[in-house]
Chains A and B, each alone.
Chain A
Amino acid sequence: MGRICELLVELDEERLMDAIREELAGGTDAAAVFIECQEGLSEIGRLFQEEKMFVSDLMMAGVLFKDIVGLIMPHMKTDGGAARGKVVLGTVKDDIHDIGKDIVASMLAAAGFDVIDLGVDVPPEEFVRAVRENNVRVLALSCLLASCYASILNTVEAVKAAGIREKVKILIGGGPVDEHVVRYSGADAYGATAQDAVDYCKEALR
């Protein structure tokens, strides 16, 4: 593990940012620094799965990653390389919770996915439009309210009605979402954690 990667895993903000500034000033390729940061985030995801890091750590890592991107991007000669693929993400209709969705968005972005985040309280037709327009293969739906399971179902139904169901995998997640809701809604899978979402997207877009 490189120094930058290590500092990111330790969530040592001050020393991390100093180290990145030093590397960039010393002429290190910005893309290499970026890749090392991605490795750090991937390690954080692994430690989270092992219950050695927690949601607050993921959120702090997300904050740091945004700051890192701001620091590195002006030095990038390209856009950082081809993204792994596009994912449409949003919280379903009638639900305004965004914390879990935002964590998933930052973890996916850090893992190299191009995330199209539609926000919260998103109607089914808006998900369908985004999937169509962007030709994505993974649609990720967030839901924190049991009363909004019907919104997941309606979104899955809208995707079917639009004739694109076989082209897109539908992943669902959020506090009360589990295998029962997958069966109820006709989605493909659920993610219990943000890292599950990353792993699922990697597999689906391989």
Chain B
Amino acid sequence: MRYNEIYEERRRKVDACIRFENRRAVSTFMGQSVAATHTEGMTLARYMEDHEAGLDCYIDFLERVNREAPIDCFNFGYPGGHQGGLVLSWWSRVRMPGKELPENSIWQVEERKVVEDEDYDLILRDGSAASVLERILPLIAEPKVMEDFVSFNVTNFDRVMLRYCEAGYPALNSGLVITPFENLCGGRSIHVFFRDCYRQPDKVKAVQDAMMNDVREQIRHLPREDYMIGRWVGGWRGASNLVSQKIWDLLVWPYMKEAALLLIEQGITPILHLDACWDRDLERFLELPRQKCILNTDGMTDLRKARRILGDHAAFLGDIPSTMLTVSSADEIKDYVKRLLDDIGPQGVFIAPGCDAPACAKYENLVAIHEAVQEY
């Protein structure tokens, strides 16, 4: 299906970049919360709570930045129903602005152990984590939180994605695939879960194998509309600098790889959202099909090294550090982007804030990212 000319033109740039056929880097907006913090009269609390106002605010903000320097696409859209999304990702309670936090404070995950030892046996018995999730959800989220999530991300998913298309902006990412390691790390709490990984690795592996049945089902049922470009595969607690090689090889990579391959089978680009440093294991991404994936890094993974190892195997998305967006100058941002492009070249590169732009990112720094791409 064709949407509109601006969208199609930008979409061609995105598709070309994944295939390393682009000549210029792709200027990619990322900032789930910055639209609210840079819009007069909009609190972060209202932005998160009122989905219609929030979505309008997000798209208006894209337009505003685009008027200053062109944006080709965005990474993560307006975070509607975000509390529920985070709850489902982390299996943890999430504190929200205007509720447990002041109106303009960014959301925070409150990790406490909610998955009990016996839940492992339940998952093994069922070959699924559905009943465990059903038990823990009331402990970590009010029913309305999950209703909001479903309303925005399921019931209204198509309508929201079409709003982006109408506005002319391809959405690189249309949702998350969470691997079992990440769910368990949140639900058990990192201290307990890492201990499990050392004390009973085989059991954790069996549990994760059972949980992958749910992931396979989720991927099988994803919409197949033309606007579906990619989907995040996390990548936060399973980072190479966080877990030992043995744990990573056994409990992290096999599941990320399978999720990525399943997405590719569905015609969706896996966007491996890699928080922290993945330098140790960069070679492993060569196991994924060539030019079918995007590695979304946050400034901690060495992209120069990644380019040397991976060549034109996978596109990169990132990686301006959040610290720079907050405390550096626009000139420093531009210098960072240009030096990066000097070293890794523009082919197969989406330039964007690493991970996410923090709510307190300076407006001129956000604009500087897109100016730098244009000027390069």
- Chain A residues within 8 Å of B, Cβ to Cβ: 11, 13, 51, 53-57, 59-60, 63, 94-97, 99, 102, 145-147, 149-150, 175-178, 180-181, 183-184
Contact = CB atoms under 8 A, between A and B. Distances in A.
B325 interface: yes
Interface string B311-328: 000000000011111111
Contacts of B195: 59-60, 63
A99 B190 contact: yes
A53 B327 contact: no
A7 B280 CA distance: 25
Given A57-B244, A149-B327, 20 more contacts: A51-B241, A51-B280, A54-B243, A54-B244, A54-B245, A55-B241, A55-B242, A55-B243, A56-B194, A56-B242, A95-B108, A96-B95, A146-B358, A146-B360, A149-B360, A176-B323, A176-B326, A177-B323, A178-B321, A181-B327
A98 to B, nearest CB: 8
Contacts of B361: 146
A180 B323 contact: yes
B209 interface: no
B49 interface: no
A53 B360 CA distance: 34
Contacts of A175: 276
Contacts of A177: 323
B246 to A, nearest CB: 10
B163 interface: no
Contact of B198 (A13, A99, A145, A146): A13
Interface in B181-225: 190-191, 194-195, 197-199
Given A55-B242, A55-B243, A57-B244, A11 B198 contact: yes
A13 B191 CA distance: 15
A11 B194 CA distance: 12
Contacts, number: 81
B360 A60 contact: no
Interface residues of B, number: 36
Interface in B293-344: 321-328
Given A55-B241, A56-B242, A146-B322, A96 B191 contact: no
A59 B244 contact: no
The 7 A-B residue pairs whose C-beta atoms are closest, nearest first, are A146-B358, A55-B242, A56-B243, A146-B326, A147-B360, A56-B194, A176-B323
Interface string B98-110: 0001100110101
Contacts of B198: 11, 13, 56, 60
A202 B358 CA distance: 34
Nearest to A96: B108
A140 to B, nearest CB: 18
A59 B242 CA distance: 10
7 contacts: A13-B199, A63-B195, A94-B102, A96-B108, A99-B190, A102-B191, A180-B328
A134 B268 CA distance: 57
A64 B240 CA distance: 22
A143 B254 CA distance: 32
A131 B106 CA distance: 29
A59 B190 contact: yes
Contacts of B276: 175
Contacts of A60: 194-195, 198
Contacts of A145: 106, 108, 358
Nearest to B361: A146
A11 B198 CA distance: 8
